[in-house]
Chain A
């Protein structure tokens, strides 16, 4: 094995030289032209799901006249940090995540679905469970989704406190990390009840991922403001206008494929001021 040493040294030297040469090349040729658009992970972050979003990517690229990279980070924190350090230009955030990202990095709200202005969180249980109202969950096992989720944690938590329940004292709860896991935990009986995003719940029932006969909704929260598309603070105003315009001009049936990916019917402009209620609740619950 000692005979190999001269070879290895030459190799190391050559590779070192190659490394130096490579690093001198222009580095950000492609990154500078493609817009990076992030989607939060609650709809599934797989290679296939990104491929399935190709119509959305193509639509945006055509409207913006730029290459578009769709990125699905696996957690909320990573998405916001990426907006903060500029590795994402635009992103789709839940209400609470938006409020934090706005406070932290001054992200700019652009557009949201009409349905995001009247969003609901559902309290679900098993069909046969003796739970018919919020007060019945005292002493039970309960599942929230991700701790940073508006519809999976913040609003249902708030609904409980409004009903005179102190989740920290009156029940034992856990975070499942995402909406489908919450639904599965309820279906399997691992918990007695859970709180879930209404659009994810209905999509799971329609897709046959949940047994319809086993599940029941026992409480629906009052409407609240949720998901929103945002731009990072120092993105170009022209890009922002074009990005918002692309969403505002989506109409069925011509754009049905894109709208289906976004699980919406039409888009409207979003305003930061309307998130004040969410901000107040989040502060009250020590989540902000």
Chain B
């Protein structure tokens, strides 16, 4: 036990101090620009494609059911897999990352904005429709202004996700900080790994701060337009291998698995689910006690803010990056995968738990306090039972997300269906790869469906952003 602890300390110590030399920081300018550029250009395309799709869904244009189905299917493919496939079409480099992000986030923007539009106040929209306005006019003068605050909130959240995702797609050759991070880990250059983690946290924090400003003054969002356009131009594909892509994608059909591979599918799926469940449990166990000291109504303001900064850091580092680090340092396999999911989930859940604890109604807490109860009983008999519903919903949402994330950390050696997918791809067994993509897709879609049903059943159907 003591041995394990000193080992852990030595391991963490081997990342310090970060390499902050001028030469390295200068060398990082290109990867940083690539990372920001991939996110900005990817999101620009995602909004250009996603918003019209969302309008089509919300106004029930012909074929909107098909659009919803296609978007759900796209969202179920891990972004890492999309990035690898994008290399086939546009070659190596940031363009592959942009294509992957654009596809993934078009689907996300289309789906979520579609839902937001559908929930918009119906009366003004009916009035518009009565004037004979076209779908575009309804969108421009009705849907978008009516839901603008929500659009902005989700838009900046999506941009933050895209910034993290651009690290992920970088790790397969898209370029940017992700490629750099994978490189430092494979050469065991941990001081530079830490430098990159600091850069990553700072980037996500900057996006977060920008989001807060943009909610106050939505015009700021327009600044992203030139950024996206410039990035798109700078990182445009060097090639566009259309014929090659058609040929390569054709070799993926029909999807096929050997009998022995089909026989091992249940084990692979069980492994992926174990990583997801394990990661969620680890995340919840870490987040729960921490969230109690991050809720401003329970502890002093300064303490809560300090703990939340820790959550922010854990949230800023994607599962895949935790995974890359753990696989090199702690070891390979499902345990490393579950730990990776757990560390990131702890950051996400900690923040959500703390907010839920802060949002409980004041009256019962005041009543408890009036009895002279101390802080601990107030938490145990006041805050906790009152916040239980939201806590459970947040955890279930995380579990759903973690099924998808478990396939992604599988790609880097955690095991399960993701690893099988990655190996089939690395060996150019593309028919097998497609079969595993379909299984992954089915698994993620099923868990989304199941999660939705469960929340409806429990009567806790609200969106946890």
Contacts and interface: CB of A to CB of B under 8 A. Distances in A.
Given A44-B186, A87-B91, A174-B332, A75 B173 contact: yes
Interface stretch (A114-122, A180-188, A256-264): A180-188
B428 A80 contact: yes
Interface in A51-93: 51, 71-78, 80-82, 84-88
B199 interface: no
B172 interface: yes
A45 interface: yes
A255 B145 CA distance: 66
A15 interface: yes
A169 interface: no
Given A45-B183, A88-B92, A177-B413, A78 B173 contact: yes
B239 A31 contact: yes
A146 interface: yes
Nearest to B218: A1
B253 interface: no
B239 A74 contact: no
Contacts of A4: 218-219
Interface string A10-45: 011001001100100001100100000010011111
A147 B413 CA distance: 11
A38 B238 CA distance: 15
A242 interface: no
Contact of A76 (B233, B236, B332, B426): B426
A58 to B, nearest CB: 17
B2 interface: no
A22 B236 CA distance: 11
A7 interface: yes
A81 B88 contact: yes
A148 interface: yes
A288 to B, nearest CB: 8
B28 A82 contact: no
A286 B27 CA distance: 42
Contacts of A85: 88-89, 91, 239, 241, 244-245, 248
A266 interface: no
A78 to B, nearest CB: 4
B327 interface: yes
Interface in B93-115: 93
A77 B428 contact: yes
A147 B424 CA distance: 9
Interface in A151-186: 174-178, 180-181, 184-185
A87 B239 contact: yes
B236 A8 contact: no
A15 B171 CA distance: 31
A73 B92 contact: yes
B333 A174 contact: yes
Contact of B188 (A38, A84, A177, A209): A209
Contacts of B248: 81, 84-85
A8 B218 CA distance: 10
B27 A47 contact: yes
A78 B422 CA distance: 12
A1 B151 CA distance: 13
Given A49-B183, A147-B423, A181 B327 contact: yes
Given A2-B145, A48-B24, A75-B173, 9 more contacts: A8-B222, A43-B187, A74-B173, A87-B91, A87-B241, A104-B428, A147-B423, A175-B413, A177-B412
22 contacts: A4-B219, A19-B232, A38-B92, A44-B183, A45-B179, A46-B180, A46-B187, A49-B183, A71-B92, A71-B93, A77-B84, A77-B426, A78-B173, A81-B88, A86-B91, A87-B91, A87-B239, A104-B428, A147-B423, A177-B186, A181-B186, A184-B188
Interface of B: 24, 27-28, 30-31, 84, 87-93, 145, 148, 171-173, 179-180, 182-184, 186-189, 192, 218-219, 222, 225-226, 229, 232-233, 236, 238-239, 241, 244-245, 248, 327-333, 412-413, 419, 423, 425-428
Interface of A: 1-2, 4-5, 7-8, 11-12, 15, 18-19, 22, 27-28, 31, 38, 41-49, 51, 71-78, 80-82, 84-88, 100, 104, 143, 146-148, 174-178, 180-181, 184-185, 188, 190-191, 209, 287
